[in-house]
Chain A
Amino acid sequence: MVNRFGTDGFGAWLRRQFRVIGAIARKDFLVFLRYPANALMSVVEPIMWLAPAYFMGQGFSVDGQAIGFAGFTGTSDYFSFAMMGMFMSSYISTAFWGTGFSVQEDMTLGVLEPNWVTPTSRVSLIIGRSVIMFLLTTLNSIGVLIVGAALFHVNLTGNVLAAVITMLPMLIALTGLGLGIAGVVLSVRRAGTAIDISNWIVVQLSGTTFPVSVLPRPLLAVALALPTTYGFDAVRSILLGTRTMLPLKVEIGIMLASTVGMCAAGYAVFKAFERRCRRQGLLGTH
């Protein structure tokens, strides 16, 4: 019997998908290694963005303690707060740029159509890219964290393993988001500005460098609708001992629910736009 998994069953189908994911991840890793200047800048540039945050914190501090900030968050260590925010927001940027927007780069280079006419799952092609991008982002962010901690004072006192486990649902949800964005980019094409602005808004409104409670009501409503806001809040409370907006278990529950929701929505959006592009023959155009 031939079904969507082929004649050899689900196990063989799954192995094939892993092979595709592995091949794409390997290809993107080789491309990454080919441009060492970009790799170096990916560590240096976040430090350059962190430095103004550090000095701005110092501008409002007394004896190195951001006393005003403690009134909002429960910690006077503003730099560690911002550093953790930057660490987690790099995954959001990866979903927008590394996964979603990369489809446009493939289009521009002319390799999207040849890859997509092969008998592989297009979703696996995108997931393969997500996997390597998230791994590279993790390595890069750890590098930034180490350099940042050496240059400035970072004080993470909480349980790192618990924080990593708490972050996992957020990362899976972001893979779903990246898949959906890839679908939209397929159809929209010149999506650079839209991706740039959307990425910045989601990163900032998730509370990268400030607690979302300082936002005016309309923006606060948007921030509270983003699952990443709860992810940032939960991880910070574990690592820095900040006050959470909701009980920690509730925040984790919201993240788990959003993981399912965002993956399902991302898949549906991607498939809808992919079908439309195939029907209209738009894959090779840009």
Chain B
Amino acid sequence: MSKTMPHTVRVFLAAAQRDFRITTRYGDFVVGMLVWPILMPSLTVFAAKALAGPDGAGLSAFAERTGTTDYVGFVFAGMVLWMWLNMVLWSVGGALRSEQRLGTLECNWMTPAPRLAILLGSGVNQMIVSVIPVFVSLAVCTAAWGVRFAVTPLVGLVFLVSTIAMFGMALAFASLVLFLKELNAAVFFLRGVFMVFCGLTSPLAVLPPWMRAVSKALPLTYSIDLVRRLSLAGASYADVSRDFWVLAAFAAGLMVAGCLAFLIVDRAVKRSGTLGQY
């Protein structure tokens, strides 16, 4: 145990360092990471502005359903969190598949290094990198649109719990993609499900009942709703405690499910010998 632990930590750090170097090596990736969080939510806000109307005629209907007339902050919160999930799916979720395509997965997995430590190290780097666009986007929203997001310890805690939930989900997704051997279609589908059901740009009240039921089974719905209520509407812990603990339960469950999925895939590919195939 005393020998294994430092060894595992070293593998974890080496994987994180390697991925950080790869990330910063490609300038176009860094440009995209900074430009997309500005472009995508901002242009969606123009659609909301058009719906509000030149005289604000549509705003009363929006306010009745959401409890706020601040449609800019509402749209930004939804879009930014969804974009974060999208990035995590591509980076963490696609980590194993990318290595498989590059031909380095089999070589790395043949070494006596703990494979879960390799994946977690790689994933932690991607998670840290993926948080940068979130802050860029919120900063632009504040500077360009004058929206004030309240940043409290509870909001920070919601972000932390959401991070764990997304990471767990991405781990499970990464393992699944190794079986499916098709990253693009899998990401398009999964991110699309979250886009349709999680109330990115609309209140959940406008969804039909069956869609609302589905949305309650997705952790991103709670993340978006909690950020909107805590940061924009000034809700307190007492107002959101139930939803917060639901999100925390999702985070714990998804993290365990992600690690389990990885261990199952690890065993399955060893038996079938399909690790190098793509």
Contacts and interface: CB of A to CB of B under 8 A. Distances in A.
B31 A60 contact: no
A72 B50 contact: yes
Interface string A47-62: 0110111011111111
Interface in B33-86: 35-36, 39-40, 43-44, 46-59, 61-62, 65-66, 75
Q: Which of B26, B29, B50, B61 lies at the interface centre, i.e. has the most chain A CB atoms within 10 A of its CB? A: B50
A210 B51 CA distance: 8
A44 B53 contact: no
A272 B49 CA distance: 42
Contact of A48 (B56, B192, B203): B192
Nearest to A45: B188
A53 B39 contact: no
Contacts of B58: 60-61, 66-69
Nearest to B207: A55
B103 interface: no
Give chain A's interface secondary structure class. helix
B192 A62 contact: no
A210 B195 contact: no
Contacts of B35: 197
A48 B191 CA distance: 9
Given A59-B61, A193-B29, 6 more contacts: A44-B192, A45-B188, A60-B51, A71-B55, A78-B50, A210-B47
Interface of A: 37-38, 41, 44-45, 48-49, 51-53, 55-62, 66-73, 78, 82, 190, 192-194, 196-197, 200-201, 204, 209-211, 214-215
21 contacts: A45-B188, A48-B195, A48-B196, A51-B195, A52-B195, A56-B47, A56-B202, A57-B51, A59-B65, A59-B66, A60-B52, A61-B58, A62-B61, A66-B51, A66-B58, A67-B58, A68-B53, A71-B55, A78-B50, A204-B46, A214-B49
